[in-house]
Amino acid sequence: MKYRLLSMLAVSVMVLANAVLADPIVIKFSHVVAENTPKGQMANKFKALVEERLAGKVKVEVFPNSQLFGDNKVLEAMLLGDVQMAAPSLSKFKRYTKKLQLFDLPFLFNDLAAVEKFQQSPEGQQLLHATEKKGIIGLGYLHNGMKQLSASKPLRVPEDARKLKFRIMSSDVLAAQFKALDAMPLKKPFSEVFTLLQTKAIDGQENTWSNIYSKKFFEVQPYITESNHGVLDYMVVTSAEFWNGLPDDVRAEVKKALDEAIALGNKVAYEKSVADRQAIIDSGRSEVITLKPEERAKWVAVMKPVWKQFEGQIGKELIDAAYAANQ
């Protein structure tokens, strides 16, 4: 009896010691942008919230500026367990689903409010599951902003872009969009864009005010056309293996922290789309070109036919649902 009691006590002590001494779960969060961006601030807030609420249980290591992985490698790395969370742009999932190509269709959304409305709709929420068959779980959307066109020469009408080389994200829709302009699209990692522009290996690129500002593209691109022709948003993702392996209470707390961090990131996105645009104008380094309605109509006329090319892969009903969010 005494022996039994002693061994039970020993087991309890061991369990307790294990719980106290167990290594924390580590979440490596890899991203490619600067810290002072919607995604950078979201990731840092997520780390702060998790480490405050799950102190000793979960540790978050954030790797900004492509320090750990570029976006073209990060999803592979996630499936191998080398990184647990990331938030690639919605343009970078084509190896895992064709459905998210929806977000790249030019002139689909008028503004971020329409993007938000669609993302929160049942169809938008359903898309967060689009990569699950490939082992990747979408935990939420995060905004960056509407894309603008920057170039070495003024772009006022589509013909101005002819024969120019543009860096694009790894998206076939974006490639088709620039081919429609009779321009030359080049799929390149985000980390290479500044040097490609600076050395004039390419003539232009498309990105948000926040990315153009934080990565100093405006210092090497004399013209930016305020085209708002597409959206650059993110899906925050994790691997199904990691996520489903978390204890239930930890998973719930991590998700709650993420939702709060995303809310902050979205607020930053709205603020930066105004503030970073203004900072670029104030710098005097790049001229911001505002399109006249008749000029804008020409870009729409040339780019919008791209929708038809991808209707089969994305689904017409989904495109219609997204477009309806503009109303």
Residues at the interface with ligand LMR (CB under 6 A): 32-33, 89, 144, 169, 190, 207, 211, 232
Minimum separation from the CB atom of position 89 to ligand LMR (A) = 3
**CB closer to ligand LMR out of 64 and 158:** 64
The CA–CA distances, whole Å, from 8 to 14, 19, 265 equal 10, 17, 49
Are 232 and 91 contacting, i.e. CB atoms less than 8 angstroms apart?
yes
Is-contact 115 233, C-beta < 8 A?
A: yes
**C-beta neighbour count of 26 within 10 angstroms:** 10
| Nearer CB in complex with ligand LMR: 84/211 | 211
First to last CA, the chain: 76
Q: 12-21 — which CB contacts under 8 Å span 24+ positions? A: none
Which residues touch 68 (CB under 8 Å, ≥6 apart)?
A: 28, 30, 74, 77, 83
When the beta carbons of 87 and 161 are compared against ligand LMR, the nearer one is 87
Task: Give the residue with the Cβ less far from ligand LMR, 234 or 299.
Answer: 234
Nearest approach, Cβ of residue 177 and ligand LMR (Å) = 14
In this complex, which beta carbon is closest to ligand LMR, that of residue 32 or of residue 130? 32
Query: At its nearest, how many Å lie between ligand LMR and the CB of residue 32?
Result: 5
Nearer to ligand LMR, 103 or 118 (CB): 103
Nearer to ligand LMR, 157 or 275 (CB): 275
Q: Which is nearer to ligand LMR, 33 or 42 (CB)?
A: 33
| Interatomic CA distance for residues 318 and 119, integer angstroms | 12
Q: How far is the CB of 248 from ligand LMR (least distance, A)?
A: 31
DSSP, residue by residue, 270-294:
HHHHHHHHHHHHHHTSSEEEEPPHH
Q: How far is the CB of 174 from ligand LMR (least distance, A)?
A: 10
What is the dihedral sign for C-alpha 61, 65, 66, 70? positive
Beta bridge partners of 63: 30
Q: Which is nearer to ligand LMR, 116 or 206 (CB)?
A: 206
Q: For residues 92 and 170, is the Cβ–Cβ distance under 8 A?
A: yes
Give how far the C-alpha of residue 16 lies from the chain's centroid of Cα atoms, to the nearest Å: 41
The residue behind tokens 């790249």 is: 104
User: Considering the complex, what minimum distance in angstroms separates the CB of residue 144 from ligand LMR?
Assistant: 5
Largest Cα separation within the chain, whole Å, is: 92
Half-sphere exposure of 181 (CA within 13 A, CB side): 26
Query: What are the two backbone dihedrals, phi and then psi, of residue 239, each rounded to the nearest 5 degrees?
Result: -90, 145
| Inter-CA distances, 223 with 31, 110, 190, 296, Å | 27, 22, 19, 16
Q: How far is the CB of 58 from ligand LMR (least distance, A)?
A: 24
CB of 108 to ligand LMR, least distance (A): 17
- Nearest distance from C-beta of residue 169 to ligand LMR, angstroms: 5
